[in-house]
Chains A and B, each alone.
Chain A
Amino acid sequence: MEAYRPGDAAVVGVGESEYYKHGGSPRSEFRLCLDAALAAARDAGIDPHDIDGLATYANDRTPPARLAAVLGLREWKWCGVEGGGGGGGGGGAVQQAALAVASGVAKCVLVYHAVAQGQGRRRGTAIPRRPGDSFWVPYGLRTASHLYALRVQRFFHETGISPTTQRAVAMASYHHAQKNPRAVMNGRPLTVEQYEESRWIAEPFRLYDCCLESDGAAAVIVMRGEAAEEGQQPPVYILSAVHGSGYRSGGIIEGVLDAQRFATADFASLADRAFSGAGVTPADVDAAQIYENFTGGVVMSIVELGFCTPDEASDFIVESNLIAQGGRLPLNTSGGNLAEAYVHGMEMHPEAVRQLRGTSHNQVDGAKVVLTASAPMVAPTGVVLYGSKEALG
Chain B
Amino acid sequence: MTKFYLPEGLADPLKDGFGLGDEYWDAARDEKLVVQRCAECRGWQWAPECVCTRCYSDNLVFEQVRPAGTLYAFTRIWHPVEAGLSESLPYIVAVVQLDDVPAVQMIGNLLIDPVTEPTIGEACTAVFEHHADFTLVQWQPTTGA
Contact = CB atoms under 8 A, between A and B. Distances in A.
Given A126-B82, A138-B6, A255-B47, A133 B14 contact: yes
Interface string B59-88: 000000000000011111111011001001
A134 B93 CA distance: 14
Given A139-B93, A139-B136, A252 B107 contact: yes
A257 to B, nearest CB: 5
A132 B47 CA distance: 8
A203 B75 contact: yes
A5 interface: no
A135 B11 contact: no
A73 interface: no
Interface of A is mostly: loop
B105 A259 contact: yes
Contacts of B112: none
Contact of A139 (B6, B17, B53, B79): B6
Nearest to B78: A200
A145 B76 CA distance: 11
Nearest to A143: B81
A140 B6 contact: yes
Contacts of B77: 140, 146, 149, 201-203
A126 B81 contact: yes
Contact of A248 (B53, B93, B106): B53
A131 B16 contact: yes
A138 B16 CA distance: 15
A148 to B, nearest CB: 9
B19 to A, nearest CB: 12
Interface string A243-277: 00000100010011111101100000000000000
B20 A132 contact: yes
A146 B16 CA distance: 23
Nearest to A145: B79
B109 interface: yes
B34 interface: no
A153 B6 contact: no
Contacts, number: 127
B78 A138 contact: no
A151 B74 CA distance: 9
A124 B75 contact: no
A154 B109 contact: no
A162 to B, nearest CB: 16
A196 to B, nearest CB: 15
Nearest to A254: B47
B78 A262 contact: no
Nearest to A260: B103
A27 interface: no
A138 B13 contact: yes
A115 B82 CA distance: 22
B81 A150 contact: no
A252 B106 CA distance: 10
Given A150-B74, A199-B78, A202-B76, A258 B14 contact: no
Interface in B14-33: 14-17, 20-21
Contact of A134 (B6, B13, B79, B90): B13
| Range class of the A interface residue count | 35 or more
A133 B17 CA distance: 13
Contacts of A188: none
Contacts of A255: 47-49
B136 A257 contact: no
A142 B21 contact: no
Contacts of A200: 76, 78-79, 90
A203 B82 CA distance: 18
Contacts of A256: 47
A258 B103 contact: yes
A135 B109 CA distance: 11
A248 B47 CA distance: 12
A233 B14 CA distance: 54
B132 to A, nearest CB: 14
Nearest to A141: B93
Given A140-B91, A140-B93, A262-B105, A134 B75 contact: no
28 contacts: A132-B20, A132-B21, A134-B15, A135-B46, A137-B11, A138-B6, A138-B11, A138-B13, A139-B109, A140-B77, A146-B77, A150-B73, A154-B120, A157-B120, A201-B79, A202-B75, A203-B75, A203-B76, A203-B78, A252-B107, A257-B46, A257-B47, A257-B105, A258-B45, A258-B104, A260-B103, A262-B73, A262-B95
Interface of B: 5-6, 11-17, 20-21, 44-49, 53, 72-79, 81-82, 85, 88, 90-91, 93, 95, 103-109, 120, 136
Closest 8 pairs between A and B when the two form their complex, measured CB to CB:
A134-B13, A149-B75, A154-B73, A200-B78, A131-B16, A135-B47, A136-B107, A255-B47
